[in-house]
Structure 1
Amino acid sequence: MNITTKLLLVSTFLLPIHLPAQTMMFSANPLKKNELCAFVRFQHFETKEKYNWNLNEWQDLTADKETVKSMYLPMIGYGINHKLSAFAQFPIYRQIQNHISDSYFNEILLMSRYALIPASGKKSGISLIGAFRFPTESAAHNPFADGSIDIILGEIFSTKWYGKWRTHIKSEYAITTKNDAKINPGDEFKVLLKQGYKWWNIQLYGITKYIRKFKSRNLDDSKVDHSQSYKLVHLLGADWKIYKNFIFKSRIEIPSIAKGGSNYHQKFSCDLVYYI
């Protein structure tokens, strides 16, 4: 089976809020030289609360404001050499609000990952992340987009396996630019601690993730009150190596402490990853 046929087969899996770029979905290991990676993520959650800054508390949305949201995130990656990999993401969002369904093609993300110290099961490693996120349309016409060009810098640290355990520490900072309305949506910082446990062909893990969005800026570059937010999120997940080159991942995500913006109670997601 040639590469073209394999990619066509993988594409069958790809067809079935502004969110942070998914730059930290893998560990510090780069792709192998000339290796291709096809990835798709499905995510589902319901937004039922919004933060009231006047009362400093979360309040339930009215039924017509509640939303059901889904994300489909296809991604392809290529190993340029044994240390450098490149990826491209093309997220698609679907939202149902007040019985009306709309779909949106969101910002394209182009990402590179460089293994400063290549990781393996027998040694720790660290990778550097560099990414650009490009808008596909005005933020006024897409509730999932901020309409700005973002520059994303980050790092991923992976320990070696100690017994059946392995630890990852990941962080990134997104620098936003002004959008087509001449408004800056605000920078974003994210840090993640992941503790994994290997059992048979399955990796079980728990993740604690902190996300902070800084204040937006108006046309005159003044800061916008109550446009900031932060969130502490906990995830439980499992990665199942179904076949040598085929991995299925699933997780549930629950926020515990949050302030600002809108909120969800649980978020379910699953990934399909295929290496060629």
Structure 2
Amino acid sequence: MATPLTADRLLTALRAEGVGVVEYDGWRTHNRNRAGAWGPVHGVMIHHTVSSGTISSVALCRDGYSGLPGPLCHGVIAKDGTVHLIGHGRANHAGGGDPAVLRQVTDESYGDRPAAPRMHQGSAGAADGNARFYGFECVNLGDGADPWPAAQLDAIERAATALCRAHGWSAKSVIGHLEWSDWKSDPRGFTMPALRSRIARRLGGEPAAPPARPRYQPFPGKSFFTAGPSSPIVTAMGRRLIAEGCSAYTIGPAPRWGEADRRSYAKWQRKLGFRGADADGWPGRASWNALKVPYTQ
């Protein structure tokens, strides 16, 4: 049980643990505090988003949707291992859960995992998880097939460890949503006991240096594309467009720039909110930097 970290202390704790952080405008005051208290906090809850694509997933978690306003967590952990901070305070991420689980997390008194939850949002006597937990949403479809890249798992481990270290908690203060509510299945694709083992090992030492950050292809200029190049950069770009759900490809992508690339890129520009001539499919610096195309030799 602890008083929630201030926004500045939260940011400091994450960075000290080697977490790569993106701060969204207004995240320090974006919360649901008017709906109820936040704190004292007892632990960290891990979720999956049931979505793909960093930008759209962050927007969903920041803004919420009809019937469930945002923020839907405090940070979104992308597949590249970046933690996108979108809220601080009460967030609509945990909902109602089993008070017996809350007692076990508070006391850190369970074994491999807490007792199976028997309550959910709306259950008589359910505990308010939104008031009691930090929440991280991790970008994943949650179908058991969508991969969990090593960089993403490392960031989940580091983010959770940062909060445990700041509060003096053990790894048993970190649970999955499925361990809180009998209605939930997230996170799916890795096990919480395995994650807690990793967190426990990390807590046994000082914060470690962060892994090498991915290197992205710098914007090659619009003229690069209008010249109709054949380059591995085009292939790498196409793969990122597919990953972001912006594919107009029937085959490929291939190294040679073509109409399918242009139409796919136009989808990406529209996804970012560009319209008209700004969404004509010819890459510009802002949209290219947002796409994060892996560096190619």
Relative contact order (C-alpha < 8 Å, sep 6+): which is higher?
A: 2
Q: Greater strand percent: which structure?
A: 1
Structure with the higher fraction of residues in helix conformation? 2
Q: Which has the larger radius of gyration?
A: 2
Shorter-chain TM-score range: under 0.3
TM-score by length of 1: 0.23
Query: Structure 2 length as normaliser, TM-score?
Result: 0.22
